[in-house]
Structure 1
Amino acid sequence: MNPKRAILIAGPTASGKSEVALQVAKKIGGVIINADSMQVYEGLDILTAKPGAGVRAMVPHHLYGVKKADEAFSVADWLVLASAAAECAWTARKTPIFVGGTGLYFKALLDGLVEIPKVPKEIRRHLRRKMETEGVAALYQTLKEKDPVTADRLDANDRQRILRALEVYEATGKPLSAWQQAAQKGFLNGAEVLKICLEVDREDLEKKIRARFQGMVSKGAPEEVKTLAARNLSPDLPIMKAIGVRPLLRHLNEEITLEETIELVVIESRQYAKRQRTWFKGQFTGWTFLPAGVGVAREILSLAKKTFRD
């Protein structure tokens, strides 16, 4: 028997990934490892839909709320922590279950990361000044000229990743996409891996998104954002870009009503889910796509029996 087994459960926002992972983990004695880039940060427990204390007491959960809101946290940083958590699970003869919606985390886990040379501070400072003076649109256009492959897969307003791609190009003279093509073997290379991506009908997903956010509001999401705003953090930090933060800030500033806030968050979430689905379909070769809903956990358990050799 191969002692190194892992289950990967991805899917768009509000698809019920965490509940499915919990059901599977309870059945097989698994360990849940977070693969969501917002849930790694402290705070916003309600708004980022972190599993509650009661759920986390049922089975071990790792990498939830492990970084401060003002700390930088890269895919490489996540991979280090996630790999360590998986090794601990294997040592305890348990199966790690990676669950989340951040495709780059899963990509790094399976395909590895290349060690890109460090970017000199002067280049970082220069590009950040350009971002402040020229704006994100101008730098995105530059990226399209220097590294069209990376530009095509990034959101045109993603300041952090646009800056990172330009930093790598300026420091090495080589596009980030070229570095990524030379990635090393993934951490799970040699392990038995079941890769599942949940799918949800678009109309059903919008209903789920709306119901979930309304529940978040009633549980205290506005108060979470008010506490976050009081810290006066940079708007460029990842946590400040979490879905719902900006509309709730506008609501707290009495710029929009709660009803308008809900509509904006539904739109924001729907657009994010669309980007996730497109990414998953394009990048998740060899994955099994399953419709989310009642019975999907049982289906995953059935597939696990077929995938993992005794």
Structure 2
Amino acid sequence: MIFSSYLPAWGTHWTKALGLVSAADSLNNFTIVICGPTASGKSALALAVADFFNGEIINGDSMQIYRELKVLTARSRDEETKTVTHHLYGELSIKEKCSAGAWLNLAVDAITDVRARGKLPIVCGGTGLYLKILMEGIAEVPDVPESLTEDLHQLYEREGGVAFHKRLSIVDPESASKLTISDRQRLIRAYSVVEATGRKLGYWQTKQPAGSPVEGQFVKIVLTPPRDELYQRINHRLDAMVSDGAVEEVADVLEKNLNPQLPAMKALGVPEFSRYLRGQIGLNEAIENVKSATRHFAKRQFTWFRNHMTADLVIEDFGGTKAAFSRVKALLGTLSVGS
């Protein structure tokens, strides 16, 4: 999720008011990646960079791709998407599944399109796996039959996470050792690969391509603000989301009677507000549960980016979008001079 929807809007061309000249033409072999935990200000920064460097923004968030979850995933405001072109936001229905591989194909097409029109591609999001496969490539794991996946979901439902985890530990102990009993989706994925191919998931992952499907150089900018301040932002943002119709958005989703295993049904806020709408808990409890889940999610994102992302620039404070942009501009200016 991205925070810009609940930040003050900067003027469309405020960066140009500084009297600076765009260096986009000198960055035509670069792809900018702006990432970090939820609510860290990624989208506002991406908007400023795109505005100044003649860029377009490509979604790197696994939930913002779903059309019906605009409020709950904090997608950018309509006026922002009119000012700077955005790609892969609200691209799919919540009835669809968007795997990492499917997103990669969409992202590569979007980057190619942006470059073909002489613009700078800026990938913005907090889904670490998506960003990793964009920059490094993805393992070519064979397709698993949908019927097998559905059978394994039913098996998980009948036996529970503990028993299913034990099953996986027998056929693929390496994968099982990396997963918790509650990580249903990945447990089923690992088990289904063994069942469908006769080989463990790790075998296929060792065949990962040596490089990115995107030509050129990636510039990685990671936002890692102080956790206490970030958690306060998360809490305030959720309150704003509720005022803007987040609960009603979930009510609309529930009316569709969708498969609860669809990815969008697990988006932050959907399970919690669903329990409220079904009369299982009160609204205040649901709100607090969403805040807590989001804070825990942000903590996991901090850990992921610390361990898996080697950044060209790390921004560790909440100095504001202008201050963050000035640092990014200086970095990109150096790269454009050297290119």
**TM-score normalised by the chain length of structure 2:** 0.85
For structure 1, which segment, 34-43 or 127-136, has the greater mean C-alpha deviation from structure 2 after superposition?
127-136
Matched residue, 2:238: 213
- Contact 1:159–1:236 (CA under 8 A) maintained in structure 2: no
**Aligned-pair distance for 1:3?**
3.0
**Aligned-pair distance for 1:155?**
5.0
Shift in CA distance, 29/169, structure 1 to aligned 2, threshold 3 Å: same
Matched residue, 2:327: 299
State how far apart, in whole Å, the 2-side matches of 1:122 and 1:233 are: 18
Equivalenced residues, count = 310
- Greater length-normalized contact order (CA 8 Å, ≥ 6 residues apart): 1
State how far apart, in whole Å, the 2-side matches of 1:143 and 1:26 are: 49
**Aligned-pair distance for 1:125?**
4.5
Matched residue, 1:203: 228
- Contact 2:135–2:218 (CA under 8 A) maintained in structure 1: no
**Aligned-pair distance for 1:256?**
2.7
For structure 1, which segment, 61-70 or 156-165, has the greater mean C-alpha deviation from structure 2 after superposition?
156-165
- Contact 2:134–2:213 (CA under 8 A) maintained in structure 1: yes
Alignment of 1:228-243 (within 5 A): 228-243=253-268
- Contact 1:35–1:98 (CA under 8 A) maintained in structure 2: yes
- Contact 1:213–1:262 (CA under 8 A) maintained in structure 2: yes
Shift in CA distance, 184/289, structure 1 to aligned 2, threshold 3 Å: same
Matched residue, 2:9: none
Shift in CA distance, 121/55, structure 1 to aligned 2, threshold 3 Å: closer
Work out whether 1:161 is the aligned partner of 2:189: no
State how far apart, in whole Å, the 2-side matches of 1:141 and 1:19 are: 44
**Aligned-pair distance for 1:2?**
6.7
State how far apart, in whole Å, the 2-side matches of 1:130 and 1:68 are: 27
2:130 to 77, 86, 105: 105
**Aligned-pair distance for 1:245?**
1.2
State how far apart, in whole Å, the 2-side matches of 1:212 and 1:229 are: 23
RMSD (Å) for aligned C-alpha atoms: 2.0
Residue type of the partner of 2:143? K
Residue type of the partner of 1:187? S
Matched residue, 2:62: 37
Deviations 1:190-212 (A, max 9, x none): 41221011102111111000000
1:78 to 85, 103, 106: 103
Deviations 1:102-123 (A, max 9, x none): 0010111011012222224554
**Aligned-pair distance for 1:126?**
3.9
- Contact 1:83–1:187 (CA under 8 A) maintained in structure 2: no
State how far apart, in whole Å, the 2-side matches of 1:98 and 1:243 are: 22
Deviations 1:242-267 (A, max 9, x none): 11112212222333333222211111
Work out whether 1:118 is the aligned partner of 2:143: yes
Name structure 2 gaps, 5 residues minimum. Answer: 1-25
Deviations 1:138-188 (A, max 9, x none): 223333444455445545323222211111122223222332232114435
Work out whether 1:21 is the aligned partner of 2:46: yes
1:254 to 263, 275, 279: 279
State how far apart, in whole Å, the 1-side matches of 2:76 and 2:237 are: 14
Shift in CA distance, 189/239, structure 1 to aligned 2, threshold 3 Å: closer
Please give the secondary structure, in 1, of the residue aligned with 2:66. coil
Work out whether 1:193 is the aligned partner of 2:218: yes
1:139 to 155, 164, 169: 164
State how far apart, in whole Å, the 2-side matches of 1:283 and 1:153 are: 16
Deviations 1:225-250 (A, max 9, x none): 11001111111111111111122122
Deviations 1:32-53 (A, max 9, x none): 0000000111111000111121
Please give the secondary structure, in 2, of the residue aligned with 1:44. coil
Residue type of the partner of 2:160? G
Residue type of the partner of 1:66? E
Work out whether 1:177 is the aligned partner of 2:202: yes
State how far apart, in whole Å, the 2-side matches of 1:263 and 1:125 are: 33
Residue type of the partner of 2:188? L
Alignment of 1:57-96 (within 5 A): 57-96=82-121
Work out whether 1:52 is the aligned partner of 2:42: no
Name structure 1 gaps, 5 residues minimum. Answer: none
Please give the secondary structure, in 2, of the residue aligned with 1:68. coil
